[in-house]
Amino acid sequence: MKGKSALFLAAVLMGMTAVSGKEPPGFSAVQTVSASSGVNVAVHTPEEIAEYYRTHQFSLSQKDEYALEPSLVSPYSAGKLSDGSVQNGLNALNFVRYTAGLDEVKIKEDYCALTQAASLVNALNGGISHTPARPSGLPDSLYDAGCQGAGSSNLADGYRNVADSIITGYMSDNYPSLIPRMGHRRWCLNPSMQYTGFGKAGRYGAMYAFDNSFGKTDATGVCWPAQNMPVNFCHDDYIWTYSRGQVVNGSSVKVTLTRKNDMKTWSLYSGSSDGEFYVNNDGYGRKGCIIFQPKKVSYKAGDVFEVNITGADTEINYTVTFFDLNNVQSAPPEEAVRCDIDGNGSVSTSDLVMIKKYIIGHDRSVSASAADLNGDGTVDVRDFLTIRAILMK
């Protein structure tokens, strides 16, 4: 090593006391779930989910706005939601899909037109229906589009905005008539969905659900609550779903739900006294949906539940860990992952010391490729400063 670089490194080290021995802010240990069987969707860590939420923010209370206001009097007009309101809804939908380990979906304008027409027809009728009656005086083209949209969509009544209808409405589905099917949630979490669209007129809304343009997928075991689940979106009487992706014989299925914190167990099956239990093989997104709602249970951050399902075509096991989005730090940025030389899951002063020892020739246990952080082919003080800059943020 050249003397000038050594002197510069020594000068830099003189200022290390402010960060020495201190873990940098913004990092935490990555939480993982236990090995699962019967589930092959992606599993995202709480840190990754928190980062996705941070970069795909959505509001449940902000009032929807329009690029073109719907007209509920003649001459009728379906209207059009603003780009911001559509994006707010899309962020909410993609957040739950990301949390569940599924691909994002995109907006298709044709679907927005259909859902907007459906919302208008339901608003004119004063109620939601997938097969709405024809309002008096409504043109054929607008009514036909409304019927097509209503028959192909999740429908909503009375929610504050599109995102609210997704999070509070469709994903919860906590109405006695809906629990045996959980159809709205299953459409939101359909692995084959690639596009959607949103509409709103008055208090009535719609989300296009019948898109399967992604085609056949190998995704099996779409579960909600997800394997890492934000407790912020899960209330105490929440319904659990596991969608197998193929027909399941409900008479033979049994779910054993165990809370690992205190080993309390719920046995859920047809006729169980521990809670509600259903199996639905209709084509709401994915067939073979096992639906269960344990009694006398609450959820808080840190709770870990083990799910064991027997009597299906294979034994199914997975773990659900609840966490608070407000108390988990985002996943480390790519730069920080690259600078984690010792591989302990965070960037710390130990990485700084390792690269210092490499530069002055006292330790070559780390490879040159791992220590060359800026990729210039040389391990030198510039690489040292890369780590130091992260620690001092």
Identify the CATH number of the domain in which residue 282 sits.
3.40.33.10
Q: Which of 99, 106, 273 is nearest to 185 (CA)?
A: 99
pLDDT score, position 22: 33
* Domain edge (last residue) among 327, 355, 373: 327
In a domain, 32, yes or no: no
Q: How confident is the model at residue 33 (pLDDT cuts 50, 70, 90)?
A: very low
pLDDT digits (tens, 9 = 90+) for 364-377: 667 777 778 777 77
pLDDT digits (tens, 9 = 90+) for 114-168: 999 999 999 999 999 999 999 999 999 999 999 999 999 999 999 999 999 999 9
**Side-chain half-sphere CA neighbours of 22 within 13 A:** 13
pLDDT > 60? residue 21: no
**Side-chain half-sphere CA neighbours of 251 within 13 A:** 0
Q: How confident is the model at residue 345 (pLDDT cuts 50, 70, 90)?
A: low
Q: Hey, CA dihedral for 24, 55, 99, 336, is it positive or negative?
A: negative
In a domain, 39, yes or no: no
3-state secondary structure 265-323: EEEECCCCCCEEEEEECCCCCCCCEEEEEECCCCCCCCCEEEEEEECCCCCEEEEEEEE
Tokens linked to 76 = 């009728």
pLDDT score, position 368: 75
For the segment 288-303, the average pLDDT, to the nearest whole number, is: 96
pLDDT > 90? residue 386: no
Query: Both 157 and 195 in a single domain?
Result: yes
pLDDT score, position 26: 30
Query: Both 348 and 315 in a single domain?
Result: no
Beta strand 228-230 with 316-323: parallel, antiparallel or unpaired?
parallel
pLDDT score, position 9: 42
Query: Both 313 and 356 in a single domain?
Result: no
Tokens linked to 355 = 């690269």
**C-alpha to C-alpha distance for 219 and 222, rounded to whole angstroms:** 7
**Whole-structure pTM value:** 0.77
Contact at 8 Å (CB) between 248 and 312?
yes
pLDDT score, position 184: 98
Domain that holds residue 61: 46-327
Q: How confident is the model at residue 334 (pLDDT cuts 50, 70, 90)?
A: low
For the segment 49-62, the average pLDDT, to the nearest whole number, is: 95
pLDDT score, position 13: 38
In a domain, 220, yes or no: yes
For the segment 76-97, the average pLDDT, to the nearest whole number, is: 98
Which segments of the chain are extended strands (E)?
Answer: 66-68, 80-81, 106-107, 153-157, 195-196, 198-201, 204-208, 222-224, 228-230, 240-243, 254-259, 264-268, 275-280, 289-294, 304-310, 316-323
Q: What residue type is assigned to position 171 of the chain?
A: M
Q: How confident is the model at residue 309 (pLDDT cuts 50, 70, 90)?
A: very high
Residue 347, domain CATH:
1.10.1330.10
Contact at 8 Å (CB) between 209 and 108?
no
**C-alpha to C-alpha distance for 257 and 276, rounded to whole angstroms:** 13
Mean pLDDT of the chain: 87
Q: Which residue has the tokens 């791992």?
A: 370
pLDDT score, position 43: 94
* 3-state SS assignment for residue 157: strand
Query: Both 55 and 18 in a single domain?
Result: no
In a domain, 295, yes or no: yes
**C-alpha to C-alpha distance for 187 and 236, rounded to whole angstroms:** 23
In a domain, 386, yes or no: yes
Tokens linked to 14 = 């003189």
pLDDT score, position 341: 76
Query: Both 90 and 223 in a single domain?
Result: yes
Query: Both 218 and 336 in a single domain?
Result: no
Query: Both 254 and 338 in a single domain?
Result: no
pLDDT digits (tens, 9 = 90+) for 193-239: 999 999 999 999 999 999 998 877 778 899 999 999 999 999 899 99
pLDDT score, position 335: 60
pLDDT > 70? residue 60: yes
pLDDT > 70? residue 51: yes
Q: Hey, CA dihedral for 17, 20, 22, 24, is it positive or negative?
A: positive
pLDDT > 70? residue 16: no
Q: How many domains does the chain have?
A: 2
pLDDT score, position 304: 97
Query: Both 262 and 297 in a single domain?
Result: yes
Query: Both 199 and 280 in a single domain?
Result: yes
Q: Which of 313, 288, 175, 291 is nearest to 225 (CA)?
A: 291
